[in-house]
Amino acid sequence: MPVGPVGTYLVALSARSSLRVGACAASGIASADGIYALVAAAAGSALAPLLVPIVMPLRWVSLVVLLGLAALGAIRAVRRYRAHRLTGITQEMPVAGRTAYFGLLGMTLLSPMTVIYFAALVLGGSGSSDPAVVERVIFVLAAFIASATWQLLLATGGALLGRALTGHLGRLLTALASTIVIAVLAIRLVA
């Protein structure tokens, strides 16, 4: 399981909020993966010609969204750090679990890496015999469970990282590092 921009964002979100919020966000990513697996299993090779022309535009949309999130994260981290230095009190608006779920669901649905992965599954299966319904259901469930397990592991790692770096400078450095990684991974999507 690769860690791309969405996974990096999940780790950073979990680090600066809580494991509960991270778990909600991880569920959003797994839901998107489950949706793509369902579409790949249901539509099969009929979907392949439709996917090819939209992959590159989705890469550009994803690039813009991810760079925006990276910039917003960096700006918030610097403001939070400066506010703490000036006042000694940092009050950050907590992220709701529902917001994390739907935000990461949408981000993953827009992620071209997810589209490419499931498009490859569809394109790769276009020459084989048509799988039975039971095999398709097992494929969708397995994809969802594998994704949920991996994303929850990333969220847990992010939450542990957040606890280890609870100082204000540590949070600033972690937030800035994650925004740089997100930006680099986003640029690699179109490069």
pLDDT tens across 139-156, in order?
A: 889 989 999 999 999 999
- Residue 121, Cα to own-chain centre: how many angstroms? 20
pLDDT at residue 123, as a whole number: 59
* SS3 at position 191: coil
What is the identity of the amino acid at 117?
Y
| Best CA proximity match to 147, nearest among 186, 173, 108 | 108
Angstrom distance (rounded) from CA 146 to CA 142: 6
Backbone angles phi, psi at 96, to 5 degrees: -80, 150
Could you tell me which residues come within 8 angstroms of residue 55 by beta carbon, excluding any fewer than 6 positions away?
Answer: 112, 115, 116, 119
Largest CA distance in the chain: 66
Q: How is residue 159 written in tokens? A: 């939450």
pLDDT at residue 131, as a whole number: 65
Q: How is residue 114 written in tokens? A: 């997810």
Angstrom distance (rounded) from CA 125 to CA 182: 32
Least confidently predicted of 68-77, 80-89, 180-189: 80-89
Q: How is residue 119 written in tokens? A: 């498009």
CA-to-CA dists, residue 54 to 40, 50, 62, 114, angstroms: 15, 7, 12, 13
pLDDT at residue 185, as a whole number: 77
Cα-based angle 163, 169, 175 (whole degrees, multiple of 5): 70
Q: How is residue 178 written in tokens? A: 């994650």
Q: What pLDDT band is residue 89 in, cutting at 50, 70 and 90?
A: very low
pLDDT at residue 100, as a whole number: 92
What's the whole-number average pLDDT of the chain? 79
